[in-house]
Chains A and B, each alone.
Chain A
Amino acid sequence: MNFKHKYVFLFPGLFVLIGILIFPIIFTIRLSLSGWNSYTPEMNFIGITNYIRLFTDDPRFWESFFRLSFLSVSTVILQYIIGFALALMVWREIKFKRFFRVIFLIPMMTTPVIMTVIWRTFFHESLGPVNDLLGNIGIGPILWLSDPVIAKFTVIIVEVWQWTPFMFLLLLAGLLSLPKEPFLAAAIDGASSFRKFVYVTFPLMAPISIGAIIIRLIEASKIMDTVFVLTSGGPGTATETSSFYIYIKGLREFQMGYAATLSFTYLVIMIISLTIIAKVLTKLMIKE
C-alpha cells in the first residue's frame, strides 16, 4: 500500500482523537493557568498561581483525595471479594443458575442516581425503614448519614451494592473462559476444592482479576453521584471526594480556572497512581 494512503485512513481517527481528547486536555491546562471566575470571566494568564494555591493552601483538596483513596480502595476490595464469591457460586452447576446470574446483575442495570435516592430514603435517620427495623430489635437509631465515620461506611455500602455486579460479570466471564485441563489434572491428583481454588482457579484468574480491579478503581475514583445524592459530601466534609470537591469549586463557586487546576492535577495523580497499582498487582498476583 502507498505510504500516503495509510495517513488518509488514519486522519479521521486522529482528528476525532484530537477533538475529544487532546483539545480538552490542552484547553484545561490553559484554563488552569487563568483566573477565570464569576467576576473575571476571561482567560487572563496568571502563571502557576493556581498550582501554588493548590500545593500550599488547599488542605481540603488533599483531604478529599485521601478520603477518595480510602473509599475507592475499600469498595473495590469488597466488590472483588463478593463479586468473586458470587461468580464462583453460579459458575458451578447449581439450580436456577441462570436466574441467579440475572438477579446478581440487577443493581448494575439500575440508574445510580435513582438508586442512591432510594438508599438515602432507606437510611434516613428518623423516617427511613432501616432505623425503623433496627429499632424493633432495640438497636439504634444509627446515624447513617450524619455521623462523620458511619457516613463513609454508608457510602461504601451503596457503592458496593451498585457495582459488585460489574465485578461479578467480568469475573464470571473469566471463569467461563478458563481451560478445563488444569482442573481435570487437579481432580485426578485428588486436590480439595480449597487447594483447587488457591493453586488453579485464582492464579488462572489473576490477569482477569487485575483488569477488573483496575477498571473498577478507575471508575470508583470518579465517585460523584453517590456522594452528591447521599450526603452532599457531609456531614461537614466527611464524605467529600476529589471529584465532588472539583465540582463544587468549578460549578458551584464558579472558580473555573482553579477547578481546571484541580482537574489536571487530579488526572496526573490518577494516571501515575493507577499505573503503579497495576504494576504492583501484576507483581503480586501473577507468578512467572
Chain B
Amino acid sequence: MKIIKTCLTAIISSVMIFSPMAYADKWSDQFPHIKATGDIPGECSYESMSKKNYKGKTLKINTHAVPVMGEPTALHAEQFAKLTGAKVDVTHTPAGDLYAKAMVPFQAGQAPYDIVFGFSNFINDWRRYLEPVPKKYVEMKQMQDVTPSHIGIASWDGVMYQFPVDGDRHYLKYRKDVIDNPKYQKKYKADTGKELRVPRTWKEYGEMAAYFNDWDWDGDGEKEYGSAEVMKKDDLMYAAFYSRSAAYSKNPKTPGGFFFDLETMKPLINNPGFVEALTDWVEATKYVPPGGINFGLGDEIGSFGGGQTLFSFSWDDAFVAAMQPDSPINNKVGAAQLPGAMKVWNRESNSWDEGFNQAPFFVWGWAVGVAKKSKEKEMAFDYLCFFANEANHQADIGIGRFGVNPFREADFKADVWTQIGWDKDIAQSYVDTLAEMEKSKNRVFPLRVPGTFEFNAALATAAAKALAGQLSPQAALDEAAKQWEDILNRVGKDNVRKAYAVGVAMEDNKL
C-alpha cells in the first residue's frame, strides 16, 4: 500500500511540476518566438488567449516603424490573431509622426486606431483621448511586477492610461575589452598620466573617447571611434542632451525642478549647468564617427552594436544588440550608470557646488494606450496584455532591435540574461546598473507637460545649432530658453506648472 501511495504521490507531483512545461511545449511548437520559456501561465498567456473568441472583429493598431517596437507589435498581432480569430491591422509610422498620427483623429473625434503606440511623455496631451487601463488589468499578477517608477510613468494622477510594455532609461555602454584591457590601461596611463577605467564623469568620458578616436584599437583593420551618440535633431536628440545635462544640473540640494523652477516657472535650460553639458557635447562632435552628428537612434545602435565605438549612452537597445550572439562584440561590452560631474549648478546660491554628482535619467519608454472612442476596447486591452505577457516579454527583451527593455522586477535578475548567453559578470553589471538607477534618489524624469513636443523641439533645434557650429552653447540655450518662455505664455504657465508638478514630485521622491 505504501509503495502504491509513494508511486501515486510521485505521479501527481510530476504532473503538477511538468504541467506548465506541457503547455509550454504545446504553444512553443506553434509559436517558436517563445521556445526558450514556452508559455508561462497567467491572465494573458497563450493558453488564456486561446480561450477568447474575437472572430469577425478587427483590431487596428498604429505603431512605430519596423524593427524597433514595430516588429514585436506585428509579431504579437499575428500571434493574437491566430489565437483569438481576430483580424489585426497594423500600421507602421516613423517615430517623429507617431504623435500627430494619433492626435489628428483624436482631435477630430475619430478613432481610426484602437491602439496607438507613442512615447510615455505624450501622456499629458493624449490622456484625455485614452481609455484608462481597466482595474482588472491594473491589479493582475503581471502588472504587480512592474517597477514603481514605470507604473508612475504610465500613470497620471494615479490613473493608468498607458499599458506598460517597455521601460527605458539612459545609461553608459562601454567596450569592456578595451577599458578592462591591461595593455590599454598601461598605454593610456603612459600617454595621459590618467587611469583608464569606466568613466566616472563626462570629462573623463570625453578624454577617453578622444584618446580612442580614429584608430584601429581592436585590430579588425578598420578605424574605431570614441563615441556614438544620438545627435540628429529630429531623432530624440533632446533626450541625449538631458542625459548629458543631468549630472551638471540636477542638484539634490535644490529640489523643485530640473527643466523649470516650479515656483516661478522660469526655464532652467540655459543655466551654467546645461551650458557646461552642451559645451561638452559640442566637443564630442570631434570624437564621433564621420557623420556622427547626424546619427539617429538606429545609427547609434548600429554603430556601437557593430563595434565601431568605445562608448555610447542611450537606451538599452544598443547594449542588447551588442550582446546578441551574432554581434561582433558579443560579451565584450559593459554597462554602467551615466557619467557624473565633479560640480553641479546650484540655482539658489547661483554658483557651482563642488563634489561628485550623478543623476540617472529615466527618459521615457515606449508607451501604448487604447483610444477612448475605440469600439473594441476589451479586445485592445487583451492584445496589450498578451503583448506584455511573461513569455513574450522574456523573449522580447533579449532581442535588441525590438526596443523592448526591462521594466519588471524579475528583469533585474542576472539569471534572466545568462539564460540567453550573456556572461555572468556582464549580466550582473547590467542588472546592477538598472537596479541602482531604480534606487537612486537623484533621478530625472522626462518632461510631461502640455506642449511637451514644442518644448523638446525648441531645445533640440537649439542644441543642433550648437553642434553644427551655427551658435555658441550659451547663445543656443538662451534661444531655447526664450522659446520656452514663449511656449509657456501660449500654453499658460499655470497649465504647465500643474502638470510639471507631478514630474517634480517624482524627482523629489515625494510620490
Which positions in A face B, CB cutoff 8 Å?
Answer: 35, 37-39, 41, 57, 60, 124-126, 131, 141, 143-146, 148, 231-238, 248, 251-255
Tell which of A57, A234, A253 touches B454, judged by Cβ atoms closer than 8 Å. Answer: A253
Contacts of B453 in A (CB 8 A): 38, 252-254
Contacts of A126 in B (CB 8 A): 225, 289-292, 303, 308
**Quick check: B107 and A41 within 8 Å, CB to CB?**
yes
Which positions in B face A, CB cutoff 8 Å?
Answer: 96-97, 99-100, 103, 107, 125, 225, 232-235, 289-294, 303, 308, 450-451, 453-454, 457, 461, 464-471, 486, 490-491, 495
Taking the closest CB of chain A, its distance from the CB of B178, in whole angstroms, is 19
A109→B166 CA distance, assembly (Å): 42
Q: A143-B291, A148-B470 are in contact. Are A255 and B454 (CB under 8 A)?
A: yes
**Quick check: A131 and B290 within 8 Å, CB to CB?**
yes
**Quick check: A125 and B291 within 8 Å, CB to CB?**
yes
Residue of B at shortest CB range from A123?
B291
A37→B468 CA distance, assembly (Å): 30
Contacts of A39 in B (CB 8 A): 125, 450-451, 491, 495
Contacts of B450 in A (CB 8 A): 38-39
Taking the closest CB of chain B, its distance from the CB of A107, in whole angstroms, is 24
Secondary structure class of chain A's binding surface, majority of residues = loop
Contacts of B495 in A (CB 8 A): 39
Tell which of B97, B107, B465, B469 touches A251, judged by Cβ atoms closer than 8 Å. Answer: B97
Q: A125-B290, A237-B465 are in contact. Are A252 and B99 (CB under 8 A)?
A: yes
Q: A232-B232, A254-B453 are in contact. Are A146 and B99 (CB under 8 A)?
A: no
**Quick check: B457 and A234 within 8 Å, CB to CB?**
no
A236→B289 CA distance, assembly (Å): 18
Interchain Cβ contacts under 8 Å between A and B, 25 examples: A37-B454, A38-B451, A60-B461, A125-B289, A125-B291, A126-B289, A143-B290, A148-B469, A232-B233, A234-B232, A234-B233, A234-B294, A234-B464, A235-B233, A235-B294, A235-B464, A235-B467, A235-B468, A236-B461, A236-B464, A236-B469, A237-B461, A238-B470, A248-B234, A252-B97
Taking the closest CB of chain A, its distance from the CB of B168, in whole angstroms, is 21
**Quick check: A233 and B457 within 8 Å, CB to CB?**
no
Contacts of A253 in B (CB 8 A): 453-454, 457
**Quick check: A236 and B467 within 8 Å, CB to CB?**
yes
A143→B469 CA distance, assembly (Å): 14
- Having A234-B293, A236-B466, A237-B465, one finds 18 other A-B pairs with CB under 8 Å, namely A37-B454, A37-B490, A38-B103, A38-B453, A41-B107, A125-B289, A125-B294, A126-B303, A143-B291, A146-B294, A148-B468, A148-B470, A233-B234, A236-B469, A237-B461, A237-B464, A252-B100, A255-B454
Contacts of A125 in B (CB 8 A): 289-291, 294
**Quick check: A146 and B234 within 8 Å, CB to CB?**
no
Contacts of B471 in A (CB 8 A): 236
Residue of A at shortest CB range from B495?
A39
A238→B232 CA distance, assembly (Å): 12
Contacts of A232 in B (CB 8 A): 232-235, 294
A192→B234 CA distance, assembly (Å): 55
Contacts of A60 in B (CB 8 A): 461
Residue of A at shortest CB range from B122?
A38
Tell which of A35, A145, A237, A255 touches B294, judged by Cβ atoms closer than 8 Å. Answer: A145
A146→B486 CA distance, assembly (Å): 30
A235→B290 CA distance, assembly (Å): 13
Contacts of A145 in B (CB 8 A): 291, 294
**Quick check: B467 and A231 within 8 Å, CB to CB?**
no
Contacts of B233 in A (CB 8 A): 232-237
A57→B293 CA distance, assembly (Å): 28
Contacts of B451 in A (CB 8 A): 37-39
Residue of B at shortest CB range from A258?
B490
